[in-house]
Amino acid sequence: MSAPAFDLQSHSLHSDGELSAARVVEHAAVAGVKLLALSDHDTVDGVDEALASGALHGVRVVPATEISAVDLPYEDLHVLGYGIDHRSRLLNERLLDARADRERRADAMATRLRELGFAVDRGPIEARKAAGKPVGRPHLAAAVLAHPANADRLAAEGHADVSSFIPAYLIQGKPGYVARTHPTVEDAIAWIHEAAGVAVWAHPFWDIGDERQVLEAIGRYRAAGLDGVEVFYATHTEDQALLLADRCAELGLLTTGSSDYHGPGHRLFSCFRAFDLYGREPNLGPITHGTLAAPVRGMDGLCVWLTGLSGSGKSTIGRLAAGQLRDLGHRVEVLDGDDVRQNLSADLGFSREDRDKNVNRLAWVSDLLSRNGVITFVAAVSPFRQPREAARARMGKRFLEVYVKASVEECERRDVKGLYRRARSGQIESFTGVSDPYEEPRSPELLIDTEQEAAEQSAAKLVALVEERLAQAAPVGATA
C-alpha cells in the first residue's frame, strides 16, 4: 500500500522542530504530502507562515496546534486542535497561559537536573523565553547535552541525543520529571471547540501503554466532546492501530494519522508520511477541508441535500419546506441548482468532471452556511454518488440526503423547459436520465416519491425530518 498523502502532525522552530514553518511545508511538499497540519506545541505562531508556504507549494495546510494536557494519573497527554481560528484572541491567551505553565515546569526540571549533578546551558532556554517560544523537555535535554561539563557522564550513560536522554530523566517516574498543572484534557477540548476547531487525541499509545486504559480514556474523552483519535501513528503497531480504529468506528470518532515530523535530523520523527494505515480507510471528516475544518457546535444548522432527476420536484418541495421553517423562526436558505449554475458555476459545462466541480462548490457553500446555523436546502441533480458522499464527509451529522424520486417518463411529462426534448434530439449532450446515468442514493435519510404524493405532503416530510434532527441534537433539558 502506498504511503498516505496526508500528514496531520508536524513541528517547526516555533516549538520543538528543527525547521522554520515555511521549510516544514517545503519538505512536506517534496515528500508528496497534499494535506498537512503544522501543530506546534501550545502555539499557533507559525500557522500564517505555513499557510503562505502551502499556497506556494501546492500543499493544503490545516491551521492546528498540539495542546499538552493533564488527566491524572496521566501527566502529559496531547490534544490536537485542527481547523482552529488561529487568530482568536482568546485561544492565543489560553495558549500563552499554557506556555507559562510549561516555563514553570521547565524551570523546575532544570533545577532537578542541576540537583542530579548536571550542568544546564541556560542561554538557549532564555533565548526561547525572550522570543515567546515554548520551552519543553527537548530543549532542556539539549541544554544538558550541549554543556561540555556533562560530556563524560553522558558518554558513560550512553546518552548521545535528546531522544535517549528524555526517557532516562524527563518522563513520568524519572528523577528529573516535574508534572504540568493545567490544562486538563477536558479544558484542551473545550479550548479547541471554542476556537471553532476539531479536537483529536494524539498518539494514545505513546503516552499510555495499557490497552484497557487507552480504550477507557477514549470513552471518557468522547463524553467531554473529543472528535477523533490519532489512530495511525509512526510508533503505533498494527495491533494498536487496528484496536483504535475499531473503537473509533464504534463511537463515531474521526481517525487521523501522522509521522509527527520534527525535522530531517530527528532520530525518530524525521520522515513525512512514515506511518501505515494497515489496510484501513482513515476518517478525516471535516479536517480534509483545511481551513474550513470546524463543524458547528450545537446542531442549529443543517444541509438538506435534495437529489433526483431534473423535473422530479426538488426545487418546488425545497422552497415549500424552507418557507414553513422560516415561519417557525429558523434561518433558512435554498441553493437551487439552476441559480447556482448561473451565479457560481457559469464557467462549468456538463462533463463528469464539471458536474463534480459543481457539486463540490455547492457543498462548500452549504457547509459554510450550515456551520453558521443556517438550515440550507440544496436542490441539485447531483447525479453521482461519490461527490454526494464527499459532501456528507465534509458536513458529517449536519448532512441529510433526500432522494426526490420520479421516473424519467414522469419528469419528461412535467418538463416545461423542454430539456428532455432537446436532449433526445441531441441538442443537449450528457443529460442525466437520457444520455447520462443517475446513481440513486443507497441509504438516504429520506426518500420522497413525488409521483405518489403532492408537493405539500413532500414538504411536510422535509420539515418533519429537519425538526426531528434538530430535536435529537438539542441539549438535554433544552426547551423551544
Q: What digits encode the pLDDT tens for the residues 432-460?
A: 888 889 999 999 999 999 999 999 999 99
Q: Is the pLDDT of residue 291 over 80?
A: no
For residues 309 and 420, the answer to whether their CB atoms sit within 8 Å is no
Q: Is the pLDDT of residue 51 over 80?
A: yes
Mean pLDDT of all residues in 90-101: 91
Domains of the chain: 6-292 (3.20.20.140), 302-473 (3.40.50.300)
Verify whether residue 443 is a known catalytic residue.
Answer: no
Per-residue pLDDT, 191: 96
Q: 102: pLDDT confidence band, cut at 50, 70 and 90?
A: confident
Per-residue pLDDT, 293: 44
**Out of 97-106, 223-232, 276-285, 309-318, which region has the weakest mean confidence (pLDDT)?**
97-106
Q: In whole angstroms, what is the distance from residue 103 CA to residue 92 CA?
A: 16
Per-residue pLDDT, 222: 95
Q: For residue 256, give every residue at least 6 positions away whose Cβ sits within 8 Å of its Cβ, in sequence order, or none.
A: 8, 80, 200, 228, 229, 230, 231, 232, 282, 284, 287
* 140-164 confidence digits (pLDDT tens): 999 999 999 999 999 999 998 888 8
* 19-29 confidence digits (pLDDT tens): 999 999 999 99
Mean pLDDT of all residues in 67-85: 90
Strands 60-71 and 302-307: unpaired
Q: 381: pLDDT confidence band, cut at 50, 70 and 90?
A: very high
Q: In whole angstroms, what is the distance from residue 331 CA to residue 438 CA?
A: 31
Mean pLDDT of all residues in 226-245: 97
Q: In whole angstroms, what is the distance from residue 236 CA to residue 441 CA?
A: 37
3-state SS assignment for residue 35: strand
Average pLDDT, the chain: 90
Q: 2: pLDDT confidence band, cut at 50, 70 and 90?
A: low
- Which residues sit opposite 10 in a β-bridge? 261
The one catalytic residue among 366, 370, 382, 458: 382
Per-residue pLDDT, 396: 83
Per-residue pLDDT, 333: 94
Q: Is the pLDDT of residue 341 over 90?
A: no
- Reported as half-sphere exposure (CB side, CA atoms, 13 A), residue 320 has a value of 17
Q: 290: pLDDT confidence band, cut at 50, 70 and 90?
A: low
Mean pLDDT of all residues in 296-321: 87
